Amino acid sequence: MAKLKISGKELRAIGYPEGPVISIAMNLMEKNYKYEKKENVMELLKKILSAPVEYENDAVLGLIAEQLIPKKEAEAGEAIELNATGIHFNVFGGEYIEEGAMHQMQLASRLPISVAGALMPDAHAGYGLPIGGVLATENAVIPYGVGVDIGCRMCLSVFPINPKELIQREHFFSRELNEATLFGSPGMFDDATDHEVMERKEFDELPLLKALQAKAWRQLGSSGSGNHFAEFGIIEVGEKDAILGIDAGTYIGLLTHSGSRALGANIANHYTKIAREKRRLAGEAANLAWLNLDEQEGMEYWMAMNLAGDYASACHHVIHAKIAKAIGEQPLTMVENHHNFAWKEMMIGPDGRMKELIVHRKGATPAGKDVLGIIPGSMTAPGFIVKGKGETASVSSASHGAGRKMSRSKALNSITQKELKEQLQRHGVKLLGGGLDEAPNAYKDIEVVMKSQSALVDVVGKFLPKIVRMDGTAPKKWQKSNSMDGE
């Protein structure tokens, strides 16, 4: 089938004005509608031209629509001054945390809405709240305090299979990882998977979500890029824990790490823009703009954020169900947790009374009393199944991983393929995809990180990676200069 081709002359003939919209429309339609009939595409372009406002929230067509909508002067939002001094926040593993992350947490502590905070031992600089930052606020949510990848999470299935099979049937397990999910930013399936999350009423209630629904459906069960992965490994449980609920022994585990894909990114960027327009914070603090939960935009974001979190969970469950079916075993148990999210939790407020606060955990694992979670290391380092202690000093939180000690650009420039290959061989790990920017050397020592938070979690199991699948494409230029993890 011939690919779609549109000329500027044809666009002008149906009324498109001279300007950037011509090339934008040509490129977008030829890329995203390349196998559609030309007459159908031209008819769609006419509809956008006649009523661009109806398409402004569409993930693709909105880029054309915004060129056609008359620009209005934005109303100046409320100018916000940071407090001279910030709230106290505890730092765990401070000797291993870069200055940039400390500085960002100090800025967040000076917001007028901040009530409590903590910085985890894997922390590093991000956008707005640092990755590894925990912040409790009163009646307000910070979109960039949650992050771009809303609901980024871990999910572990424990299978009653002898770990020796990972060696004896390595080709089989590798094939199942390759077939169960897609990696990479644009990754979409030809055939969408059925799941109840895609029928949620929120898709009909918010125009932004409605415009994102079709792409979200095709990305359901995909895994993204960067530090996201799907891997088989050996689970070691030293003694039975009542909460984990499985006997001491060794098992095969399937561990996945990914988030809400384009759905979450669009929600984050849309509502961050609104928050920044409504509450103007100077300089570096601009990305800490918030939405009040009793205003329309805040209620919308909260609704959309929760949907994105449930969508991220569904992506993991689709992958795990596919693999469970392929290997012919049901998991003994499943452990999972978000680490880019905001929760309503009861805490003691600044007035000494118990009240409901909004707890942002951006690249941080919930660690309430007896709450299970997973803290991964790297493609060769162990991950840990943990049980929270409910420590108020950390706002009931722990790290979400080892944390980067090198930016992506530094890792790409200083680690060699030979070094990576030697590390993989030394640890008996087979890597499918993955790049030097995700090499083990780029990460902090997970054992040191775990010691720094021994007061926050108990370890109830260990996961040793053996077959690791990641995105194999080279990072984009905008990704190379920073870590992007947990964003």
HSE of 164, CA atoms in CB hemisphere, 13 A: 1
C-beta neighbour count of 195 within 10 angstroms: 18
In terms of C-beta density within 10 A (0-12 exposed, 13-18 middle, 19 or more buried), how is residue 280 classed? middle
pLDDT, tens only, 290-315: 999 999 999 999 999 999 999 999 99
The strand order across the sheet containing 340-348 reads 89-91, 114-124, 131-137, 354-362, 340-348
Tell me: pLDDT of 74 over 50: no
Asked if pLDDT for residue 451 goes beyond 80, the answer is yes
SS3 206: coil
User: Does the pLDDT value for residue 121 go beyond 60?
Assistant: yes
| DSSP labels, 388-441 | E---GGGTSEEESSS-BSS-HHHHHHH--HHHHHHHHHHHT-EEES--GGG-GG
Query: Which residues neighbour 18 within 8 Å (Cβ) at sequence distance 6 or greater?
Result: 12
Under the banding of pLDDT at 50, 70 and 90, the label for residue 285 is very high
Amino acid letter, 116 = A
DSSP 79-136: EEPPPSSPPPEEESSGGGS-HHHHHHHHHHHTSTTEEEEEEEEEEE--SSSPEEEEEE
Q: Do residues 200 and 307 lie in contact, with contact meaning Cβ atoms separated by under 8 Å? A: yes
Q: For the chain, how many residues are written?
A: 487
Q: Phi-psi category of 353—alpha, beta or left, where left has phi over 0 and alpha has psi -120 to 50? A: beta
pLDDT > 90 in the chain, percent? 74
Give the tens place of pLDDT for each residue, 186-219.
778 888 788 999 999 999 999 999 999 999 999 9
- Lowest average pLDDT, out of 1-15, 265-279, 452-466, goes to 1-15
Residues 331-349: tens digit of each pLDDT: 999 999 999 999 999 988 7
Here the tokens at position 462 are 């260990």
Tell whether the model's pLDDT for residue 76 goes beyond 80: no
User: pLDDT tier at 58 (50, 70, 90 boundaries)?
Assistant: confident
pLDDT value at 435 more than 50: yes
Left if phi > 0, otherwise alpha if psi is -120 to 50, otherwise beta: which for 128? left
What one-character DSSP code corresponds to residue 212? H
In this prediction, residue 352 carries a pLDDT of 81
Tell me the C-alpha distance between 103 and 262, whole Å: 29
Q: Which listed CATH number (3.30.70.270, 3.90.1860.10, 3.40.50.300, 3.30.565.10) goes with 149-258+312-330+372-480? A: 3.90.1860.10
Residue 483's pLDDT band, with cuts at 50, 70 and 90, is very low
Highest mean pLDDT among 76-90, 164-178, 464-478: 164-178
Looking at the chain, the domain(s) classified CATH 3.90.1860.10 span 149-258+312-330+372-480
pLDDT at residue 75 in the model: 53
pLDDT band with cut points at 50, 70 and 90 for residue 157: very high
